[in-house]
Amino acid sequence: MTMTFITNHIKPEFICGFAPDMMPSGGENVMNDISKKSKNKNHNEAMEIAHLRFAVIAPVIQGVFTEPTKTAYYKKVAEKPLKMPDGRSVFLNYNTFEKWEASYKRKGMDGLIPKARCDIGMSRVLPNEAIDEIYRLIQQFPRINATLIYTKQKNTWLNGFDLSQVNSLEDLNRLLADYVRMRNNSVNRNTGETPMERYSRHIDRIRFPQSRAWLDECFMSRIIRKVNNDATVSIDSVMYDVPMQFIRSKVEIRYLPDDMKNAYILHQGKRYPIRRTNKLENSRTKREKLPSIDYSLNGGFKDV
């Protein structure tokens, strides 16, 4: 196995195996498995990758690297590509090497063996419901990234949802209620208790909303906009009419993205509704002329 980037860092025995005093726990069993499954190509490739990974982290494990810190060593290694068992040359981030080190310290050589995909042989085509949900998330949250979309999709009720079970709105509500009940009564692996148990145990700490309107306002988006001369503001590239008294002023607008009909300007404790602009109607609206400025009063010229 060619390792052109580590000649000054890793001892030769690390490339083909292990140093005599560094045989990891369980390593003998792993090597026996290799001899028993020598005809298994996938297994052999996995072990070759594990040896490659060990060769990279070995100087850190043994404490023989010459750089000031192990991070500096990993960064130096990351400057050049790693030649994989299949002949590919790949660049890896130094953080990857730190993860290999942590895995080795936890599980020994087993921690360096690549894990087989759990979805091998399964279709990875997204169902139409999932695709629609992705588009909905992007439209509602324009700045959402792929990681958040994946998280929301993974945790959403629509993941694995069978549309054939729904024949009416009542069916849909029933399935949703069953799902919520199931989640609330399933033990969380981090807390060791169900959400319902945790809720009941700390119910004295829970603050209940004053009203539905109060709760909606807590979740409202709040933005500052300068009102245009035609008494409009732009929100997500959509124009809205505002009271003309706010022309050229900066105003605070509060709204729910999915309920723009109830958006309003909050000014001195009062609410002033806004509405989506009707361009034809807006063009015919007469507005008071703003007073002209006489710069001569400030010592300027009259023809300025």
Q: Which amino acid is at 81?
A: P
Split at pLDDT 50, 70, 90, the class of 107 is: confident
The model carries a pTM of: 0.34
Position 272 scores a pLDDT of 95
How far, in Å, CA of 94 to CA of 77, rounded?
8
Query: For position 248, what pLDDT does the model report?
Result: 93
Secondary structure (3-state) at 15? helix
Whether 129 contacts 137, CB under 8 Å? no
pLDDT in tens, 239-280: 999 999 999 999 999 998 888 999 999 999 999 999 999 877
Residue 62 is encoded by which pair of tokens?
A: 């043994």
The C-alpha atoms of residue 254 and residue 276 are separated, in whole angstroms, by 14
Report pLDDT digits (tens) over 165-206. Answer: 777 777 777 877 888 888 888 888 888 889 888 888 888 888
Average pLDDT over residues 287-292: 54
The pLDDT value recorded for residue 250 is 95
Q: Is the pLDDT of residue 288 over 50?
A: yes
Which residues 6+ apart lie within 8 Å of 70 measured at CB?
60, 98, 101
| Residue 186 burial (C-beta neighbours within 10 Å; 0-12, 13-18, 19+) | exposed
Asked if 247 and 228 touch (Cβ cutoff 8 Å), the reply is: yes
The string of DSSP codes covering 138-197 is: HHH-TT--HHHHHHHHHHSTTTT--GGG-SSHHHHHHHHHHHHHHHHTSPPTTTSS-HHH
* pLDDT of the residue at 255: 92
Confidence of residue 36 (pLDDT cuts 50, 70, 90): low
Choose from 11-20, 36-45, 112-121, 209-218 the range with maximum mean pLDDT. 209-218
pLDDT at 16: 43
Amino acid 176 reads L
Whether 52 contacts 82, CB under 8 Å: yes
Sign of CA dihedral 105, 101, 111, 146: positive
